[in-house]
Amino acid sequence: MMLNWQDLLDIHKPMKVPRLNPLILGQTSYTSNLIQGPLAGISCAPFRVLTARYSQPAFSCTEMISCKTLLHQSFSAQKRLVMKDSEEGPLCFQLAGSDPSELALATKMVSDLGADLINLNCGCPVKKIRRKGAGSSLLLEPLKLLQLIQAMKQSTHLPVSIKIRVENQDELFHEDLLKVLRDSGLDFLVVHGRHWTEHYDIPCRYDSIAFFAENLKIPVIGNGDVACLASLEKMLATGCAAVMIARAGVGQPWLIKKLTAEINQEVFIPPSLQEIGAVFMEHVLRLKDLLEDERFAILQARKFAKYYARPLTTRAEFSMAVNACESLKNLEELTVRYFKDFS
Ligand SMILES: Cc1cc2nc3c(=O)[nH]c(=O)nc-3n(C[C@H](O)[C@H](O)[C@H](O)COP(=O)(O)O)c2cc1C
């Protein structure tokens, strides 16, 4: 095909790159549309405080909290799950359950505990949760799901959402879900683009996220495999209103800030190694203070070390040293040595 001179001008037009936009949920407008997602065993207040300080996401999430735990355990027994820190930003409490009356009570409880938003987990693949009729098993029970959403809506004035997985060739549920979601009064939807049987080696299904974004009027939040600018742009191209990042935020609470700068073609100054070491220690010390338990903090440090140590050439060596570490004093010495005088 012959080009004319005007086509030549088009060649030099910048490509249309999806941009970040403010996110409106209920009555609230968030300046960012990037969100830190829920991670069981990780997403407690110390992690979220650091994410809020370095990234200011639209909001962060608690890990999934079972309604039964909320209703039947004392506050101190579930402090790690429910504690909200005055230094953190907006917080979405994620609940798991399958009984509308329990979910209604749990929704009231977390509204009183300082939730800014509420989410029902409809994606958890764990057998114990599915056997109780909760998590991803709800995806094949649209009418029960409708009752659960209505129970939440009637129990709070806060925005209410669910987090789902997507269908595959063996389980088709998108159309049935759509019908329910349109009638439910749901305020927003989070879609992790994998079937509940799929592990992380299966790529995220962006077309499924686009399906919900195209067919629903409420904001759809896309989730799955976002860790860099290219993957963020791919997710935004689904037409989703916001993007939830889960695993990639561990050990780099500044990730959302970095991605925001990159997509806006602004400069992001990465933290120095010293600062990363200091953030790692602050995370661990905040975990110790949360439960007043040094042993718990050490075990968590062993879990997080390899994520904070991403930029170290001695990453494997540092992680092994932290694994053998038995006290916070020893951990601090190690961290100073590997991250070089961070204090
Ligand atoms: C260790 C771990 C714990 C998780 N815990 C939760 C959880 O409590 N609730 C939930 O909805 N999803 C949970 N997820 C799923 C993530 O929120 C997210 O949907 C998934 O990891 C895909 O997003 P990502 O590629 O950005 O990590 C968990 C994932 C991992 C790896």
8 Å CB contact between 22 and 53: no
62 lines ligand 1 (CB under 6 A): no
Q: Work out how many domains the chain is built from and give that number.
A: 2
pLDDT digits (tens, 9 = 90+) for 258-301: 999 999 999 999 999 999 999 999 999 999 999 999 999 999 99
Residue 58, CB-side half-sphere exposure with 13 Å CA sphere:
23
Q: Residue 157 domain-assigned?
A: yes
Distance CA 263, CA 17 (A): 9
Whether residue 237 is found in the same domain as residue 322: no
Cα–ligand 1 centroid distance for 124 (angstroms): 9
Helix (DSSP H) and strand (DSSP E) numbers for the chain: 15, 10
pLDDT digits (tens, 9 = 90+) for 127-137: 999 999 999 99
Whether residue 96 is found in the same domain as residue 205: yes
Q: Residue 2 domain-assigned?
A: no
| CATH for 306 | 1.10.1200
| CATH for 245 | 3.20.20.70
Distance separating the N- and C-terminal Cα atoms of the chain = 64
The amino acid occupying position 54 is Y
58 lines ligand 1 (CB under 6 A): no
- Which residue CA neighbors atom 18 of ligand 1 most closely? 246
**Which atom in ligand 1 lies closest to the alpha carbon of residue 194?**
22
Locus of tokens 């718990």: 296
- Which residue CA neighbors atom 28 of ligand 1 most closely? 39
Locus of tokens 């007043």: 292
Q: Residue 28 domain-assigned?
A: yes
pLDDT digits (tens, 9 = 90+) for 211-256: 999 999 999 999 999 999 999 999 999 999 999 999 999 999 999 9
pLDDT digits (tens, 9 = 90+) for 69-128: 999 999 889 999 999 999 999 999 999 999 999 999 999 999 999 999 999 999 999 999
pLDDT higher than 80, residue 6? no
Provide the pLDDT for residue 26: 85
Whether residue 53 is found in the same domain as residue 173: yes
pLDDT digits (tens, 9 = 90+) for 148-200: 999 999 999 999 999 999 999 999 999 999 999 998 999 999 999 999 999 99
Provide the pLDDT for residue 343: 46
Mean pLDDT of the region 327-343: 88
Domain boundary among 263, 284, 315: 263
165 lines ligand 1 (CB under 6 A): no
The amino acid occupying position 21 is N
**Helical (H) or strand (E) element with 161:** strand 160-164
**Which atom in ligand 1 lies closest to the alpha carbon of residue 163?**
11
Q: Residue 13 domain-assigned?
A: no
Range of the domain at 297: 273-339
Ligand 1 pocket check: which of 163, 165, 192, 256 to mutate, most ligand atoms within 8 Å of Cβ? 192
**Structure-block tokens of residue 47:** 């992690």
Of 318 and 13, the structure prediction assigns the larger pLDDT to 318
Whether residue 138 is found in the same domain as residue 243: yes
Q: Residue 117 domain-assigned?
A: yes
8 Å CB contact between 180 and 145: yes
Q: Residue 3 domain-assigned?
A: no
Whether residue 53 is found in the same domain as residue 144: yes
3 state SS of 103 = helix
Cα–ligand 1 centroid distance for 247 (angstroms): 7
198 lines ligand 1 (CB under 6 A): no
8 Å CB contact between 69 and 128: no
Provide the pLDDT for residue 14: 47
Whether residue 153 is found in the same domain as residue 247: yes
Least confident residue range of 2-16, 87-101, 112-126, 322-336: 2-16
66 lines ligand 1 (CB under 6 A): no
Whether residue 236 is found in the same domain as residue 283: no
3 state SS of 220 = strand
Q: Long-range pairs for 177-184 at CB < 8 Å and ≥24 separation?
A: 177/139, 177/142, 177/145, 178/212, 178/215, 178/216, 179/142, 180/142, 180/143, 180/145, 180/146, 180/149, 181/216, 181/218, 182/216, 182/217, 183/146, 184/145, 184/146, 184/149, 184/150, 184/153
The residues near 64 (Cβ < 8 Å, ≥ 6 apart) are: 38, 40, 94, 95, 96, 121, 124, 135
Whether residue 46 is found in the same domain as residue 91: yes
Q: How many residues does the chain have?
A: 343
Q: Residue 268 domain-assigned?
A: no
**Helical (H) or strand (E) element with 63:** strand 60-66
Q: What are phi and psi of 46, to 5 degrees?
A: -60, -45
Domain boundary among 263, 281, 303: 263
Domain boundary among 226, 241, 263: 263
222 lines ligand 1 (CB under 6 A): no
64 lines ligand 1 (CB under 6 A): yes
Whether residue 321 is found in the same domain as residue 225: no
Provide the pLDDT for residue 254: 98
163 lines ligand 1 (CB under 6 A): yes
Bridge partners (DSSP) of residue 23 are 30
Whether residue 230 is found in the same domain as residue 299: no
Whether residue 255 is found in the same domain as residue 279: no
pLDDT digits (tens, 9 = 90+) for 104-120: 999 999 999 999 999 99
**Sign, Cα dihedral of 197, 200, 203, 205:** positive
100 lines ligand 1 (CB under 6 A): no
Q: Residue 8 domain-assigned?
A: no
225 lines ligand 1 (CB under 6 A): yes
pLDDT-derived band at 340, boundaries 50, 70, 90: confident
Whether residue 290 is found in the same domain as residue 231: no
